[in-house]
Chains A and B, each alone.
Chain A
Amino acid sequence: MKEFHLDIPVEPPKELESLFLPIPREYVEDTYRKDEFLVLVGPQHPGSGHMRLIVRVKGDIIQEVIPDPGYVHRCVEKIAENRLYIQNIPLVERPSIMDSANFNLGYVRAIEAAMDIEVPERAKFIRTILAELCRIGTHLYDAAILAVFIGHTTGFMYPFGIRELICESLVRMTGARFTSSFIVPGGVRRDVDEKTLRWVYDATFAIEKRLKSFERIFIKNPTVIARLRDVGVLSKEEAIKFGVVGPFLRASGVEYDTRVVEPYEAYEELTWDIVTADEGDGYARFMVRVNEVSQSLSIIRQCITSMPDGSYISEQIGEVRGNFFDKFADIVLPAGEYTTLTEAARGTLLFTIVSDGESNVPYRMRIVSPGWLYLRGFMEALKGERLADLQAIYGSFGYFPPEADR
């Protein structure tokens, strides 16, 4: 079809000026002159999280998407420079609330790396269970959001029903539904008794059973497959180029999992597979996470059956109950820069702590959360798709702005 250029004076809608757009005025005018359309999705939109996407569409086809993040930027990096090392543990959990154990773990491991603390085996296993429970919880949350974004409300409710079991497991193990702050330098806060572990073990089977009904109504639903197949495809080269992480990278055919590449905690001693897919489309991204849930369930079971005896906290730290601040308030890391990689639920999580060797607060703490890393890939995946696919791709990435903005 031949296109004709019309040089007519255009007047972008007035509302665009009052809405605080981060893009220059020329961009808006250029869009309207080319007979295109700016659609602002979010932050108050039924199909968007805590961010705004400035979508430039031509007809129904998305030309370009400019993200406007920072709606949940809660200055974690700055506040962390003002608090003691131990006070930062609850702080770093808040950005990704479902995935708290993994964030907690990443931060604590950076401290342990700096102080050369050897973590006892039992603590490692408990940490692994917590991390995997949070991983399942996050994947279920993302599946629920994906479901509601493509209009399937039952697909929203079932994962949340299953998540109640995860929350209950976390409550029984740590005492909190979401942000447990259970992992401390050197081990964990308390020991977890046999009865609780047994309960979690049984809960994994209950979760599996309920996942079956979720599979029947959502995963194998023809409408869901029609919406997600061949949508938002990221090829292997693109995924690498734009630095996509975690399950979304694995869905594009790259076998990269920090748990294997740089093993930590108990992952080396357990048997599990890296889940990958080759298609790189929305459905592959979803299915990789669905399959990871069953891997995680198997990891939890293995951890519980082969749980070693011993102390739950390192001897270098000693008993923490009752004298928590005595043990941890005056931690001073040796001068230097310590970086750890952790496989959080949504992908690689990088913690960098810079210490000056004298202060008992971090000199600089850098968190690069998975959400922030794959945002670029997410924006690229949207190009050339239809406007209705925006929500499907959004859901298939499970983008969670509090985690990305920190």
Chain B
Amino acid sequence: MEEFTKFVRGGILGPIKKWGTKWSLWPVHLVTACCGAELAHAFACGYDGERIGALNYGIARQTNLIIVEGAITRKMARVLRITWEQMPDPKFVIVMGACGLNGGIFWNGYNLVKPSEVVPVEFFIPGCPPTPEALLRGIRQLQIKLDKGVAENSVSFSEVKAEKGKKPRILPRGVKKVSLAPCIVIAREKEVEWELGKNLCEKLKVLGRAVITARNRIALKVDPDKLRSSAMKLRDLGFDHVKSVNVVDAPNEGKFIVEYWISSYSVKELMPVLINLHSEISRREPKISSLSDIFPSADYLEREMQDLFGVEFVGNPWKGRFLLAPDAPEAPLRKDFKLQEEVYVGD
């Protein structure tokens, strides 16, 4: 913010304040996204940010610089603001990464916030992720700004005229083809040579429709009310954990397909087998019984699906939101929640 720069430079003691602040920009330990890996590199022995007096330090009260490392989600935006307000004046903010600038690769995500809307930003460092050199250059630029009072561009490029006659850049043609009435097939049978799978299929036939979809993959479709008993039967067979819980939304068929990917660690020959236990529930009343007491490993995965699809898992003790921020949209992964689309500008 300009007033902090002015404060640091102003007054009779200006030169001392300026000098002290310039050589002692301590970034607070606030890791916000994956650019943190490059930040760690910048302060580790390869690049050593301590050379220029920047010491990555513990908590907000004792530091004067925030380096926002990439994407800021709705949950993190709050934390960023709290941290910024906890810091004593004068304080500065540098944003690294394309996500922090304008969303970057996640620009149309439902959970993203631009840091510049949360806190006043001094410098942006573009890149995905920016290299440690770029980050240290950003800190140097802030030092120069404190020194001279004005921000400057750190690099300037010589102008190159576009040549004609070059091969035109090929943009994705036709862009997206999105089927209007998609037909979702979860269990498409495939012929594979797999003795164990065929045996397993025979055993599982009593529970529902069991087909081999690929090598080591079995899809087992059961009714929603038989889900728990099927899961118990699978547990008795030696399957002991859930690798994934997935929901597929099929709006034009009016249903959700809830899948549990179940596998085994304790039985050696079942280790490669992945059983897709799925059942279909109505889209209007999305309720299904939870398997979290049979397979504790499904607990957090169910909570996540509860957040993302609004499917209620009856029996899971967690109520409310788990992964999403309280102000994030309801059930964002349903097909009727649309994201902003990109537009290609051709020549």
Contact = CB atoms under 8 A, between A and B. Distances in A.
Consider the complex of A and B and state whether they touch directly, i.e. have CB atoms less than 8 Å apart: yes
A359 B76 contact: no
B282 interface: no
Given A20-B78, A249-B265, A356-B184, A46 B58 contact: yes
Interface stretch (A88-96, A296-304, A390-398): A88-96
B243 A350 contact: yes
Q: Which of A71, A87, A249, A372 has the most CB of B within 10 A?
A: A71
A241 to B, nearest CB: 6
12 contacts: A44-B28, A46-B58, A75-B109, A113-B214, A160-B40, A160-B44, A160-B46, A177-B38, A241-B296, A348-B243, A363-B184, A366-B246
Given A22-B321, A323-B170, A46 B59 contact: yes
A350 B244 contact: yes
Nearest to A323: B170
A23 to B, nearest CB: 9
Given A46-B58, A240-B265, A325 B170 contact: yes
Interface string A388-406: 0000000000000010010
A361 B178 contact: yes
A191 to B, nearest CB: 21
B75 A70 contact: yes
Interface residues of A, number: 89
Given A74-B111, A75-B106, A243-B242, A22 B320 contact: yes
Contact of B73 (A49, A72, A368): A72
Contact of A161 (B46, B175, B249): B46
A356 B187 CA distance: 12
A169 interface: no
A78 B219 CA distance: 24
Interface string B242-280: 111010110000000000010001100001101010000
Contacts of B29: 44-46
Interface string B121-147: 000000011010000000000000000
Interface string A349-361: 0101010111111
B200 to A, nearest CB: 16
Contact of B301 (A44, A337, A368): A368
Nearest to A376: B300
A272 interface: no
Contacts of B220: none
Interface string B43-58: 0111000000000001
Interface stretch (A194-202, A308-316, A328-336): A328-336
A77 interface: yes
Contacts of A46: 29, 58-59
Contacts, number: 255
A269 to B, nearest CB: 18
Interface stretch (B1-9, B201-209, B224-232, B322-330): B322-330
B283 interface: no
A249 B263 CA distance: 14
Contacts of B44: 144, 156-157, 160-161, 163
A240 B248 contact: no
A43 interface: yes
Interface of A: 20, 22, 24, 43-46, 49-50, 67, 69-79, 82, 84, 87, 90-91, 94-98, 113, 141, 144, 156-158, 160-161, 163-164, 167, 177-179, 239-243, 249, 254, 256, 261-262, 322-326, 329-330, 332, 335-339, 341, 348, 350, 352, 354, 356-361, 363-364, 366, 368, 372-373, 375-376, 402, 405
B96 interface: no
Given A22-B321, A74-B71, A179-B129, A241 B297 contact: yes
A163 B35 CA distance: 15
A163 B41 contact: yes
Interface residues of B, number: 97
Interface string B324-347: 111000001100010101000000
Nearest to A156: B44
B182 A70 contact: no
Contact of A368 (B37, B243, B322): B243
Contacts of B32: 50, 71-72
Contacts of B59: 44-46
Given A71-B75, A161-B44, A325 B321 contact: no
Interface of B: 28-38, 40-41, 44-46, 58-60, 71, 73, 75-76, 78-79, 82-83, 99, 105-106, 108-112, 128-129, 131, 167, 170-179, 182-188, 213-214, 216-217, 219, 240-244, 246, 248-249, 261, 265-266, 271-272, 274, 276, 295-301, 304, 308, 320-326, 332-333, 337, 339, 341
Contacts of B304: 372
- List the 10 closest A-B pairs by CB distance, nearest first: A243-B297, A160-B44, A356-B182, A358-B179, A75-B109, A97-B34, A70-B323, A243-B241, A46-B58, A329-B172
Of B188, B246, B320, most A-chain CB atoms within 10 Å: B246
A373 B304 CA distance: 12
A79 B105 CA distance: 9
A49 B34 CA distance: 10
A394 B203 CA distance: 42
B266 A240 contact: yes
Which residue of A73, A239, A243 has the most chain B CB atoms within 10 A of its CB atom? Answer: A73
B40 A90 contact: no
Contacts of B112: 74-75
A339 B58 contact: no
